[in-house]
Structure 1
Amino acid sequence: MTSIPRSLRLAVIAGALVGAAAAIAQQAPKPENLIKWRQSAFQVVAWNSGRIKSSLDSGYNKEQVLKAATAIAAIANSGLGSLFPAGTETGKGWHDTTAKAELFANSAKFAELGGDFGKESGELVRVVSSGADAAAVKDQFGKLQKTCKSCHDEFRNAN
């Protein structure tokens, strides 16, 4: 019977330690970090929505609207729902969470509204990219804003 060389044994032990360290490092984020991340994501959405509204109200700038719409669509389709796991119903990120408890009890409805947000944000990018006039962009932006309002009405406490 041949013995295992010392260098191979050390490599196996080192590999096991690295694997254990990686498993520890991949622990779930703290609830307050998840709340901060989702609050930050929605602040970016709000800022870009303001940019679109401003452009539509004061002389349509297609390039600026496209940049803002693209940012919103990226966030809307990034898996925002994963920032709302159980355990984040209450707590503080940058400020107290405004998510209602109903959001965590009705994940199917929340996912449906999130899907609508993703769909309408992608459609806004398509409309702007197509060269549509400001009226068509404004119409699609209104549809996007309705998805935000629907979710807020259902799942967000007033500040």
Structure 2
Amino acid sequence: MKRTVASTTFGILAVAFASAAFADLKPEEQIEYRQAGYSFMSWNMGKIKANLEGDFSSDQVSKAANAIAAIANSGMGALYGPGTDQNIGEVKTRVKPELFQNGEDVGQLAREFMDAADNLAEIAAEGEKSEVQAAFADLGSACKACHKKYRADN
């Protein structure tokens, strides 16, 4: 519980500070940074999946889950500024314009993703493989919920 409160508090503060820091970024830089964040989360999810399918290392899983939770709570929403709903030169994005038109739904999906990431980090700290599997599946569902609505397939 303490970890969830701390993560939530950190997330709120990160959004406040990140909004100011990202204000000076060009739209193409925002796209590149958010893609880097999602790539790093994906890499860590791959590490967790490999552990669940092979030799389970609770330490590796916990570290990967903490990295995912940190990124999920880092204020990445600030990287969806005006003009980031389209390709810019060589910088391509797969975000659908609908993401920018449905703020309430996107906010709900983001909260569910952050909650699932925080839950996975908490469960992973305990090191119980079967519980990690369930929490990891929940996180995957939270990812897919947003991808299904707001990420283009191309």
State the TM-score, normalized to the length of structure 1.
0.79
Q: Does 1:146 align with 2:141?
A: yes
- Percent identity of paired positions between Structure 1 and Structure 2: 38
CA–CA distance in 2 between the matches of 1:93 and 1:125? 37
Q: Residues 27 and 148 from structure 1, CA distance in 2 versus in 1: closer, same or farther, beyond 3 angstroms?
A: closer
Whether contact under 8 Å (2:27, 2:83) holds in the other structure is: yes
Q: Name the structure, 1 or 2, with higher relative contact order (CA <8 Å, separation 6+).
A: 2
Structure 2 counterpart of 1:136, from 120, 131, 134: 131
How big is the shift at 1:92? 3.9
Aligned to 1:54: 50
How big is the shift at 1:95? 4.3
Structure 1 counterpart of 2:78, from 82, 86, 89: 82
Q: CA RMSD of the aligned region, Å?
A: 1.8
How big is the shift at 1:88? 0.8
Aligned to 2:61: 65
Q: Residues 101 and 27 from structure 1, CA distance in 2 versus in 1: closer, same or farther, beyond 3 angstroms?
A: closer
Q: Deviations over 1:31-88 (max 9, x none)?
A: 0000000010000010000000000000211000011000000000111111111211
Whether contact under 8 Å (2:22, 2:79) holds in the other structure is: no
- Partner of 2:86, secondary structure, is coil
- Partner of 2:83, secondary structure, is coil
Query: Once structures 1 and 2 are overlaid, which stretch shifts more, 33-42 or 92-101?
Result: 92-101
CA–CA distance in 2 between the matches of 1:76 and 1:27? 19
Aligned to 2:122: 126
State the TM-score, normalized to the length of structure 2.
0.82
List gaps (5 residues or longer) in structure 1: 1-24
CA–CA distance in 2 between the matches of 1:63 and 1:94? 39
How big is the shift at 1:91? 1.9
Q: Return the index of the structure with the highest Cα Rg.
A: 1
Structure 1 counterpart of 2:150, from 135, 146, 155: 155
Whether contact under 8 Å (1:31, 1:91) holds in the other structure is: no
Figure out how many residues of one structure are paired with residues of the other and give that number. Answer: 134
How big is the shift at 1:129? 1.1
Q: Residues 26 and 140 from structure 1, CA distance in 2 versus in 1: closer, same or farther, beyond 3 angstroms?
A: closer
List gaps (5 residues or longer) in structure 2: 1-20
Within 5 A, what are the aligned runs for 1:21-60?
28-60=24-56
Q: Does 1:101 align with 2:97?
A: yes
Q: Residues 61 and 158 from structure 1, CA distance in 2 versus in 1: closer, same or farther, beyond 3 angstroms?
A: same
Aligned to 2:3: none
CA–CA distance in 1 between the matches of 2:119 and 2:89? 31
